[in-house]
Amino acid sequence: MDWDNRPNPFKVYSSPDLETVPLPEPSAREVPALEALTARPESGRAPDLAALARLLTHGAGVIPHRTRGPFVFRTYAAAGALYPVEVYVVTGDIGDLAAGAYHFQPRSGSLTLLRPGDHHPHLVRATAEEDSVRTANLVIALTGIPWRTAWKYTERGYRHLFWDAGMILANLLALAASDGLAARVVLGFDDDEVEAVLGLDETREFPLCLLSIGSSEAVEAAPAPLESSPIPAEPLSRRDFEFPPINQVHDAGRLERPRVAQWRSGASDGHDGSSTARGESRRFAETDALEGVITRRGSARRFGPAPLPSEILTDTLSRAMSGIRTDYAPDGSALVEPFVIVNNVEGLEAGSYVWEGGELRPLQLGDFRREAGHLCLDQPLGATSGATIFLMTRLGWILERFDDRGYRAAQLEAGIVGGKIYLASYAHRFGATGLTFFDDEVGRFFLPRSRGLECMLVVAVGDSPRLKGRRLTVASPAGAP
Ligand SMILES: Cc1cc2nc3c(=O)[nH]c(=O)nc-3n(C[C@H](O)[C@H](O)[C@H](O)COP(=O)(O)O)c2cc1C
């Protein structure tokens, strides 16, 4: 890490002539965060500019009063606070916002108009007429700039693009749900065509996923793609290094338009993990509004001694595992299987567990704090948590079924589930942090149950000394009188 060559975490366009549109102050919706994590409106209202401002400002904005040295913290967690993900919006006319392809500038809370005119039909084309993109009011696109994260994490930085994008998506999905807006994550698209709409330099910035928002009359696909013409941006640092394996692994997952529909239907054939993955959601006596929880979130830097109640761990996992609506599994995808080391949970013996059929099943009982800390790259946070959650996937099966593009889906879903774990934990007034880990050792630790599974991401949850406020109590199981 050469600090003098640290990449700028904010994208700055070279042309001073691009029009900027300030976003209005978002209004609060006062929907309880826990509810927002599981609500999934089918079809609902159309977003206006105020609703878009709420999504972007709370979903992927900065927290102005939280800066530390060179770091300006955001409304989502990001490994190493390097913020490699950029956010774009492609929309037709919506109320006070004219049709165009825009870039979201989190620091100023404004949109930069990149391409005037309605380019929604180009995304309909790029996704081979994906249902939710056709009927969306607008589409949010997330991209990843590998140099920002490879500066510190080298080739492993490729995964961070998807983990951090997942953190943003967890916010956006909950914010959309709490505003009655339908939303679907879309991974099947022609990469070249999306790059052209967003004006990306394809070797330096990758489209990661689309998020369709709202529902209205279907839009027809554009008859031809846009010509590629990257929109020049300032260099991120004096010199950026290339990491050829990152470009190779990304290119391996590229799709071209003729293959998109087939990829999506092949992938969705028989795939629906949601029914087995969801657990019983309990009702809690008091729940905080989503916006407050997003602002309160901040990765735990140390855990306190109080135990994590088992019903809060179970509720957190069950909400995080409520299926994610995607183009390849419209009813809800659940590629992730959580494995847990319980260190300090009231109502559960210490030991290793697997989340199965909506509940925690013990694998081996015993005190595994030392092992948990070691698996998390010898970081004490893995050992001092109430519970350390290892998000695993059946990667071989995923790659067979979803081709090389499946690698993106596996990492992204782990990021979304991780982001939901963060939100549920902070809604319950407990702390959480993402953690990195020794890949193969995690797989070995949970053997034999983990055979064929690979760890994608780790999140630890536990007592947060800075959230000393009253904890929530269980009122009654959902559906009970
Ligand atoms: C995918 C992911 C991995 C992370 N890994 C670690 C880690 O290994 N160790 C650690 O102390 N924090 C880790 N973090 C926490 C980040 O450092 C933290 O999110 C970042 O500094 C921004 O701060 P904030 O979350 O408080 O806003 C991770 C976060 C994410 C999202």
444 CA to centre of ligand 1 in angstroms: 24
432 CA to centre of ligand 1 in angstroms: 9
Residue 144 makes CB contacts below 8 A (sequence gap 6+) with 84, 85, 86, 161, 162, 164, 165, 205, 206, 208
Q: Which of 299, 301, 379, 411 maximizes ligand 1 atoms within 8 Å of its Cβ, making it the mutation to test the pocket? A: 299
Q: Is the CB of 81 under 6 A from ligand 1?
A: yes
Nearest by Cα to 219 from 328, 325, 99? 99
Q: Is the CB of 170 under 6 A from ligand 1?
A: no
465 CA to centre of ligand 1 in angstroms: 18
The minimum-distance atom of ligand 1 relative to the CA of 376 is 8
- φ/ψ of residue 303, rounded to 5: -105, 145
Q: Is the CB of 137 under 6 A from ligand 1?
A: no
Q: Whose CA is nearest to atom 17 of ligand 1?
A: 80
Q: Which two tokens stand for residue 352?
A: 């290793």
In angstroms, what CA-CA distances link 223 with 119, 129, 187?
12, 12, 21
Q: Is the CB of 379 under 6 A from ligand 1?
A: yes
Which residue type is seen at 202?
A: E
In angstroms, what CA-CA distances link 207 with 50, 186, 192, 380?
26, 11, 9, 35
Residue 179 makes CB contacts below 8 A (sequence gap 6+) with 29, 31, 45, 47, 51, 54, 55
Q: Is the CB of 50 under 6 A from ligand 1?
A: no
pLDDT per residue, tens digit, the chain (481 aa), is 888 999 999 999 999 999 999 999 887 888 999 999 998 887 678 899 999 999 999 999 998 777 777 778 999 999 999 999 999 999 999 988 999 999 999 999 999 999 999 999 999 999 999 999 999 999 999 999 999 999 999 999 999 999 999 999 999 999 999 999 999 999 999 999 999 999 999 999 999 999 999 999 999 999 999 998 999 999 999 998 889 999 999 999 999 999 999 999 876 655 544 434 444 556 676 688 999 999 999 999 999 999 999 999 999 999 999 999 999 999 999 999 999 999 999 999 999 999 999 999 999 999 999 999 999 999 999 999 999 999 999 999 999 999 999 999 999 999 999 999 999 999 999 999 999 999 999 999 999 999 999 999 999 999 998 887 656 555 544 433 3
Residue 289 makes CB contacts below 8 A (sequence gap 6+) with 28, 29, 30, 31, 32, 33
- Spell out the alpha helix ranges (H) of 203-352: 244-252, 257-268, 274-277, 290-296, 310-320
Q: Is the CB of 411 under 6 A from ligand 1?
A: no
Query: First vs last Cα of the chain: how many Å apart?
Result: 57
Distance of CA 61 to the CA centre of its chain: 14
pTM check: above 0.75: yes
208 CA to centre of ligand 1 in angstroms: 20
| Alpha-carbon gap, residue 248 to 413, rounded angstroms | 21
